[in-house]
Amino acid sequence: MSVKISPSILGANFCNLEQDIKVLEQHAVPVLHLDVMDGHFVPNITFGPDQIKMLRSVTAKMEFDAHLMVTDADSLLARLADAGVDSVTVHGEACPHLYRTLTTIKNLGMKAGVALNPATPIDTIKHVGHMLDRVLIMTVEPGFGGQKFIPGMLDKIAELNQYKQEKSLGFSIQVDGGINLGNIAEVVRHGASDIVIGSSMFNGSLEKNIQDFYAALK
Ligand code: DX5
Ligand code: ZN
């Protein structure tokens, strides 16, 4: 199983974003994780489609993976597609019409994912699993970078992985929150193949951190 590292720019110093994105690109990091927060679904506000469009002008080739922590995802989807987003993950807890929201994402030509908060059961994706490119298991409560990984989420990753195998579903399992050099191998062992890393990627030397994370996966 090939494992993907997805740096979350929430962990970056926003004054250095252009430079950091170039460093990631030079080290062949294929994807940028973009945390969109509305101050309503989560108690924090980040950025939206206009700012993402500016980042798109810095890199043409990195996959832009938007993680929407917002109450009204539907109203953002067309603008995210226009901003150059390749992949959108919405929260199951925030989308009462999940089938429709996922259909809209697909119709806009983007990949679709569903994120599950720590206390949300994996049953949430049961009837839409075949539509998904990704399921995101939150390993912290969403809203802020730099929080501590919730150890009980390892069982949830394994449960989702087992369900995925049983049903021969094609989505990848992404994890997000509190991932560091000490636990990355363990989340992979439990079935995660797409690892979002915020503060542990951008604190200190970005180049060294990229190399250390890739080495930890060998
Ligand atoms: C948290 C965000 C994460 C965040 C992770 O709500 O979804 O993507 O950037 O940051 P760390 O890796 O510091 O927990
Ligand atoms: Zn995220």
Ligand 1 binding pocket mutation candidate from 34, 67, 148, 196 (most atoms within 8 A of CB): 196
State the complex-level ipTM.
0.99
Which residues does residue 91 pair with via DSSP β-bridges, in sequence order?
115
% of the chain at pLDDT higher than 70:
100
For residue 61, the SS3 value is coil
Which one of the ligands is nearest to 149 CA? 1
Q: What is the pLDDT of residues 11-67, one digit of tens each?
A: 999 999 999 999 999 999 999 999 999 999 999 999 999 999 999 999 999 999 999
pLDDT for 80 equals 99
What mean pLDDT is predicted for residues 101-117? Answer: 99
Domain ranges of the chain: 4-216
Identify the residue whose tokens are 């009462």: 96
113 lines ligand 1 (CB under 6 A): no
In the structure, what pLDDT confidence band is assigned to residue 5 with cuts at 50, 70 and 90?
Answer: very high
142 lines ligand 1 (CB under 6 A): yes
Ligand 1 binding pocket mutation candidate from 6, 20, 35, 91 (most atoms within 8 A of CB): 35
203 lines ligand 1 (CB under 6 A): no
% of the chain at pLDDT higher than 90:
99
pLDDT for 147 equals 98
pLDDT for 62 equals 98
Query: For residue 123, how far is its CA from the centre of ligand 2 (angstroms)?
Result: 21
How far is residue 17 CA from its own chain's centroid? 18
In the structure, what pLDDT confidence band is assigned to residue 177 with cuts at 50, 70 and 90?
Answer: very high
In the structure, what pLDDT confidence band is assigned to residue 216 with cuts at 50, 70 and 90?
Answer: very high
- Conformation bin of residue 203: beta by default, left when phi > 0, alpha when psi is -120 to 50: beta
8 lines ligand 1 (CB under 6 A): yes
Assign a CATH topology to domain 4-216: TIM Barrel (3.20.20)
Contact criterion met (CB below 8 Å) for 190 and 169: no
Q: What is the pLDDT of residues 28-41, one digit of tens each?
A: 999 999 999 999 99
Q: Are strands 63-69 and 111-116 parallel, antiparallel or unpaired?
A: unpaired
Residue 10 CA: which ligand 1 atom is closest? Answer: 9
For residue 180, the SS3 value is coil
- Dihedral of alpha carbons 36, 145, 194, 116, sign: negative
pLDDT of residue 94 exceeding 80, the answer is yes
pLDDT of residue 1 exceeding 80, the answer is no
Q: Active-site residue numbers?
A: 35, 176
7 lines ligand 1 (CB under 6 A): no
Residue 178 CA: which ligand 1 atom is closest? Answer: 14
